[in-house]
C-alpha cells in the first residue's frame, strides 16, 4: 500500500515539498547569474574612477536598469535557495530551522525591495 | 525488523579527499556572496540617495576593513562562479570520470585565485579603492 495521496501521485510531486522545482530553480538562477554578474564586473570595470553623475547616468540607461533589477531579484532568489539548503543540512532542530529560514527570507526580501527601489529611483531620475 | 544504527552525518566520517574541500568551499563562498549581496544593495541605495550619500558609501567601502571584506567577496565570487559552472556540468552527467574531475578541480582552484587577483586589480578603481 502506498502512503502517497492519489493527487500527489498524479501530479508526480514526490514528497509534496517541491524538491525538484527547488533544485531546478537553483540551476536556472545560477545560469542567469553567470551572465548578470559578468555584466556587473564588466560595468564596474568601465566605471573605475567614475564620478557620481557618471555612475547614475550609466544606471539610468534602460538596459542597465533592467539588468540591475534582474541581478537584485535573481541574486536574492538564488541566495535564499542556496542558504536554505545549507541551513537544512546543518541546523538539526526543526524549530530553530524554521525561524532561521524565515529570517533569511525576510532579510533578502527587504534587501531586494530596497535594491529594486534604488534602481527605479535612479532610472526614473528622482535621484540626481 | 531491528533498525541498524546508521550514521546521521556520513560526511563527517569519510576520509578526506580534495572533493570534500571543494564542495564545502562552494557552500562557504556561497554564504559569503550572500553577505556580498547586501553590499551591492547598500551601494545601489547610496547611489539613489544622492551625491553626498554616495561619496560617504564609497569612502566607507574604501576603508581597510571593508576592502578586506570586498576582496573576500571577489574571491568568493570567482570561486563560486568557476566551481558553479563545474557543478552545472556534473548536473548534466558530464565530467564524473576521475581524471576529468581532478582536472576540473585543479582548474577551478587555481583559476579562482588567478581570476580573483585579475578582477580585484581591474575593479580596484570602482570598489572604493584608488582609481
Q: ipTM for the complex?
A: 0.86
Partners of A31 on chain B (C-beta within 8 Å) are 88
Mean pLDDT, chain A, rounded, equals 90
Sign of CA dihedral A104, A119, A57, A40: positive
* pLDDT per residue as tens, chain B (131 positions): 566 776 666 666 667 778 888 889 999 999 999 999 999 999 999 999 999 999 999 999 999 999 999 999 999 999 999 999 999 999 999 988 888 988 999 999 999 999 999 999 888 777 665 43
Chain A positions with Cβ closer than 8 Å to B: 27, 30-31, 34, 37, 41, 44-45, 47-50, 52, 55-56, 59, 68, 71-72, 75-76, 79, 82-83, 86, 108, 111-112, 114-115, 117-119, 121-122, 126-128
User: Do the Cβ atoms of B37 and A108 come within 8 Å?
Assistant: yes
The pLDDT-based confidence of A124 (bands split at 50, 70, 90) is very high
Domain extents in chain A = 24-123
pLDDT (average), residues A66-90: 97
Q: For an interface test with A, which of B126, B127, B128, B130 has the most A Cβ atoms less than 10 Å from its Cβ?
A: B126
Say what the pTM is: 0.86
Top CATH class of A24-123 equals: mainly alpha
- Residue A72's pLDDT is 98
Of A56 and B1, the one with more pLDDT: A56
Q: Is the pLDDT of residue A31 over 90?
A: yes
Distance to chain B for A3, nearest Cα, Å: 20
Please state the φ and ψ torsions of residue A46, each to the nearest 5 degrees.
-75, -15
- Taking only the tens place, the pLDDT of each residue in B99-121 is 898 899 999 999 999 999 999 98
pLDDT (average), residues A99-109: 98
Residue B88 and residue A30 in contact, taking contact as beta carbons nearer than 8 Å: yes
- Residue B131's pLDDT is 38
Q: Where are the alpha helices (DSSP H) in A47-91?
A: 52-60, 62-90
Distance to chain A for B99, nearest Cα, Å: 25
Write out the DSSP string of A18-37.
Answer: -HHHHHHHHHHHHHHHHHHH
Domain extents in chain B = 19-126
- Residue B98's pLDDT is 87
Dist. CA A75–CA A83, nearest whole Å: 12
Q: Closest partner residue to A45 among B37, B40, B123, by Cβ?
A: B123
Measuring CA to CA, how many Å separate B47 from each of A38, A59, B71? Answer: 21, 10, 21
Interacting residues of B73 by C-beta distance below 8 A, sequence separation 6+: B32, B33, B35, B36, B39
- Residue A73's pLDDT is 98
- Taking only the tens place, the pLDDT of each residue in B21-35 is 888 999 999 999 999
User: Do the Cβ atoms of B41 and A118 come within 8 Å?
Assistant: yes
Please state the φ and ψ torsions of residue B128, each to the nearest 5 degrees.
90, -5
Query: In which residue are the cell numbers 544504527 written?
Result: B5
- Residue A14's pLDDT is 62
User: Do the Cβ atoms of A45 and B51 come within 8 Å?
Assistant: no
- Residue B77's pLDDT is 97
Domain covering B19-126: architecture: Up-down Bundle (1.20)
Q: Is the pLDDT of residue A11 over 50?
A: yes
Query: Judging by beta carbons within 10 Å of its beta carbon (0-12, 13-18, 19+), is residue A42 exposed, middle or buried?
Result: exposed
Amino acid at each position: 500500500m502506498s502512503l502517497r495521496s492519489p493527487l500527489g501521485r498524479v501530479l508526480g510531486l514526490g514528497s509534496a515539498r517541491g524538491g525538484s522545482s527547488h533544485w531546478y530553480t537553483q540551476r536556472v538562477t545560477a545560469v542567469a547569474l553567470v551572465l548578470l554578474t559578468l555584466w556587473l564586473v564588466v560595468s564596474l570595470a568601465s566605471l573605475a574612477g567614475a564620478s557620481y553623475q557618471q555612475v547614475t547616468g550609466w544606471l539610468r540607461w534602460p538596459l542597465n536598469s533592467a539588468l540591475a533589477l534582474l541581478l537584485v531579484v535573481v541574486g536574492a532568489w538564488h541566495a535564499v535557495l542556496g542558504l536554505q539548503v545549507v541551513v537544512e543540512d546543518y541546523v538539526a532542530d526543526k524549530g530553530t530551522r524554521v525561524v532561521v529560514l524565515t529570517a533569511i527570507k525576510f532579510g533578502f526580501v527587504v534587501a531586494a525591495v530596497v535594491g529594486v527601489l534604488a534602481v527605479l529611483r535612479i532610472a526614473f531620475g528622482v535621484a540626481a | 525488523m531491528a533498525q541498524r544504527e546508521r550514521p546521521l552525518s556520513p560526511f563527517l566520517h569519510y576520509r578526506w579527499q580534495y572533493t570534500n574541500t571543494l564542495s564545502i568551499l562552494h557552500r562557504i563562498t556561497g554564504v559569503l556572496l550572500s553577505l556580498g549581496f547586501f553590499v551591492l544593495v547598500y551601494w545601489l541605495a547610496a547611489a539613489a540617495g544622492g551625491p553626498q550619500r554616495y561619496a560617504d558609501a564609497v569612502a566607507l567601502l574604501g576603508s581597510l576593513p571593508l576592502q578586506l571584506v570586498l576582496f573576500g567577496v571577489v574571491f568568493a565570487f570567482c570561486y563560486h562562479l568557476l566551481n558553479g559552472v563545474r557543478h552545472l556540468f556534473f548536473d548534466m552527467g558530464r565530467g564524473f570520470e576521475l581524471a576529468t574531475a581532478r582536472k576540473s578541480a585543479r582548474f577551478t582552484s587555481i583559476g579562482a585565485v588567478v581570476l580573483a587577483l585579475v578582477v580585484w586589480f581591474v575593479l580596484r578603481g570602482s570598489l572604493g579603492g584608488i582609481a
